[in-house]
Structure 1
Amino acid sequence: MHWWKLEAEEFLSNFGPSEHPEVTYLLYEIQWGRSRRTWKNWCRNIHPEHAEIIFLEDEEVHDRPDIPCNITWFVPWTPCGACAYEIIAFLEERPNVNLEILAAQVYKPYDHRNRKGLRDLADEAQISIMEFSDYQYCWEKFVDHQGMNLRAGRGFSNQRRIDSRQLDSIINPF
């Protein structure tokens, strides 16, 4: 048992296709400088703060402002419009940070604020929809799955195709 890992049910209820969790987990990896080691952890929303904002306010991230780093987020939803602009501000203050966001689903894709926020965020960060291999990676690295296998038959592939097209139409509308 790994004390920091998510329970399997928490992961599935957060990242599963068509899930609408009340609690949102943001799984992340940070690679500082030229180190080959990757620091893995997760944070969650604390109402009313979204998980993205909780991450951005984390002292670990602010302790090393001059060291280049690559950050990867695995999130159940793409950031909302308000969070997108907080993330943009964070990245503009830290030009040495590269951020990749892999989301399970597009959050409220018809809300014009979310669409504009994602378009603007795509200029600063790489945003994509999770592939099944990303789910498997998260399952192995972030989940205390106790030997259970993650099966592709849970609808991950169908949801991915829908959300991937949706995200692409938002980021590249023309």
Structure 2
Amino acid sequence: MSLLPEEIFYYQFGNQPQVREPKGRRKTYLCYKLKLLDETLDQGYFKNKKKSHAEICFIDKICSLDLDQTQRYKIICYVTWSPCAHCAEKLVAFIDDHPYLSLQVFTSRLYVHWLWVNQRGLRRLWKSNIPVLAMTEPEFTDCWKNFVDNQERPFQPWEKLKQYSDKVKRRLQKILKINTIDLFSEQSSEEIRDLNNLVDAVRNLNLDAHLPHY
């Protein structure tokens, strides 16, 4: 597996709302780990292409693997930008078609989160048991260790990493609470309560138990 250069990781995965260095617009990178029990079976990363987003490349990759459908696999993804509305729908369809897979997404930043269509995409993911959570220092560290050409150097957190991560958490929480109100017209109170319980449960997971048992 090729590894991300150190400078690419820090620039692309940095959760700062703005960057001062003139390195161009930050792009979507997606790092994934496919696990069976405690064993990592496959891992790698993708970045956006002109005609194919990183999420679509990831889906194509997993679909190309000869997985035993009698087993239960877990996938952890680290992304620089949360999925856009189109990719969110593709991920939902992918997991619906592959019930032996469970997927959890950690994002460094939220992609155009003020647009209703992207908020709806994030809510669709949660509703389909695909939690999207903010990357915190443990997730950045794990990503650094597994996907970066780090030359055995430890991860060095940048200034205000925690504050930026907390801001993303609060924004996600607000988006999901908005969803709770919207769902009253089409879901029962029991279904809404289940969604809120899922949000709370996943938020309390530690790095060693990233994925809930659905």
TM-score, with length taken from structure 1: 0.88
Is residue 110–residue 168 contact of structure 2 (8 Å, CA) maintained in 1?
yes
Does structure 1 residue 55 correspond to structure 2 residue 55? Answer: no
- Is the deviation greater in 66-75 or in 84-93? 66-75
Report the Cα offset of residue 147 of structure 1: 3.7
Report the Cα offset of residue 158 of structure 1: 1.4
Which structure's CA Rg is the greater one?
A: 2
Report the 3-state secondary structure (helix = DSSP H, G, I; strand = E; otherwise coil) of the residue aligned with 2:58: helix
Is residue 73–residue 101 contact of structure 1 (8 Å, CA) maintained in 2?
yes
Q: Determine the structure 1 residue equivalent to 2:12.
A: 14
Percent identical among aligned pairs is 26
Q: Determine the structure 1 residue equivalent to 2:137.
A: 132
Q: Determine the structure 2 residue equivalent to 1:123.
A: 127
CA distance in 2, matches of 1:132, 1:59: 27
Q: 1:85 to 1:60 in 2, by over 3 A?
A: closer
Higher helix proportion (structure 1 or 2)? 2
Q: Determine the structure 2 residue equivalent to 1:43.
A: 46
Unaligned 5+ segments in structure 2 are 182-214
TM-score, with length taken from structure 2: 0.73
Higher relative contact order (CA 8 A, sep 6+): 1
Whichever residue aligns with residue 87 of structure 1, its letter is L
Does structure 1 residue 90 correspond to structure 2 residue 90? Answer: no
Whichever residue aligns with residue 77 of structure 1, its letter is W
Is residue 129–residue 160 contact of structure 1 (8 Å, CA) maintained in 2?
yes
Report the 3-state secondary structure (helix = DSSP H, G, I; strand = E; otherwise coil) of the residue aligned with 2:145: helix
Q: Determine the structure 2 residue equivalent to 1:30.
A: 34
Aligned length: 170
Does structure 1 residue 166 correspond to structure 2 residue 164? Answer: no
Q: 1:21 to 1:140 in 2, by over 3 A?
A: farther
CA distance in 2, matches of 1:40, 1:59: 10
Whichever residue aligns with residue 99 of structure 1, its letter is L
Report the Cα offset of residue 135 of structure 1: 0.5
Does structure 1 residue 145 correspond to structure 2 residue 143? Answer: no
Is residue 32–residue 43 contact of structure 2 (8 Å, CA) maintained in 1?
yes
Q: Where does structure 1 differ by over 6 angstroms across 4 or more consecutive aligned residues?
A: none
Higher strand proportion (structure 1 or 2)? 1
Superposed CA RMSD in Å reads 1.9
Q: 1:65 to 1:86 in 2, by over 3 A?
A: farther
